[in-house]
Amino acid sequence: MADTIERIEGTENEYISRREFIQKSAVITGGLAATALADSANPSRSYSAQVDPNDPGLSSTEIKFPSTDGTPIGGYLTRPKKDGSLPAVVVIHENRGLNDHIRDVARRLAKAGYVALAPDLLTRQGGTASFATPDDAIAAIRKVDEDTITKDLTGAINYLKGQNFVRSNKIGVVGFCWGGGNSLLIATRNRDLAAAVVYYGRSPKNLDDVQNISGAVLGHYGEKDQPITSAVPKLEAAMKKHGKSFEYKVYPGAPHAFNNDTNPQRYNASAAKEAWDRTLEFFKKHLQS
């Protein structure tokens, strides 16, 4: 059973920019202190990965793979250094693009025994690294349409299917925020996926599209994230209507982006740990059997 959803009024679900943070903090603390506060919340300066990028047990590298229209798409591929083929997971980033946090999430999956590919879905706009600020990346990602996302994610799945170290019939997807919605999107458009995990992502515009899902779906939602979470009961009803496997949990007191440990304003350690444990159990059930 899914947890009961209660509406919480006045919840804010948008990040403020670093510049806005500095300006607002300067009023209270003074310019120098405000800059220090903002820098401490800036992932590029303060983030410490859970899995070392140079972990000796992993093979991790930046790659290019072809989208279905032939466009080379950038990505980050990480996997255990071991013989044989393994299940694989496509990791879809938030609306800020492919950053060190998402690379770290991919390595966490690799440490759990998966081949993980995190595509840069801003490649066609010059790549995530080409943007000076996260706000610039957000503005660019708003221009990426669903058909392009579908082509590029399908390219990622096809790339994994073609690798001799991947079990081609055991591929899943996980996405966060913007990527969570697109995790569900690609699940409705690609029948090669055996499992999909959605972290606080929006439901499909047409809920009847879920009839095209071939794998099981797991959702993680924050109680305080009402713009997203309030729509989940309708998604659940559509899944039931079309006989699809869907389980989810609403985490009490958790906001949007509660898994992102680079954002102290949103990160909820207990919810993130439970959701990650549930994610690993879900993938173990549907991808390792």
- pLDDT value at position 183? 98
CA-wise closest residue to 281 among 197, 171, 178, 177: 197
- pLDDT value at position 289? 86
Q: What is the mean pLDDT of residues 170-174?
A: 98
Q: CATH 3.40.50.1820 spans which residues of the chain?
A: 55-287
Q: Given phi > 0 = left and psi -120 to 50 = alpha, else beta, which region is 222? A: beta
Query: Using one digit for the tens of pLDDT, what is the confidence trace for 76-132?
Result: 999 999 999 999 999 999 999 999 999 999 999 999 999 999 999 999 999 999 999
Q: How far apart are CA 284 and CA 276, in angstroms?
A: 12
- 2 CB contacts (<8 Å, ≥6 apart)? 232, 236, 247, 248, 249, 250
Q: Identify which has the larger pLDDT, 28 or 79.
A: 79
- pLDDT value at position 6? 31
Mean pLDDT of the chain: 88
- pLDDT value at position 48? 77
* Active site (catalytic) residues: 177, 225, 256
Q: What is the mean pLDDT of residues 45-71?
A: 91
Sign of CA dihedral 121, 123, 129, 134: negative
Q: How far apart are CA 80 and CA 51, in angstroms?
A: 12
Q: How far apart are CA 181 and CA 197, in angstroms?
A: 10
Q: How far apart are CA 121 and CA 154, in angstroms?
A: 12
Q: How far apart are CA 50 and CA 260, in angstroms?
A: 12
Report the topology of domain 55-287.
Rossmann fold (3.40.50)
What is the secondary structure of 142-168 as a DSSP string? Answer: TT--HHHHHHHHHHHHHHHHT-TTEEE
Q: Would you say 228 and 221 are in contact if contact means Cβ atoms under 8 Å apart? A: yes
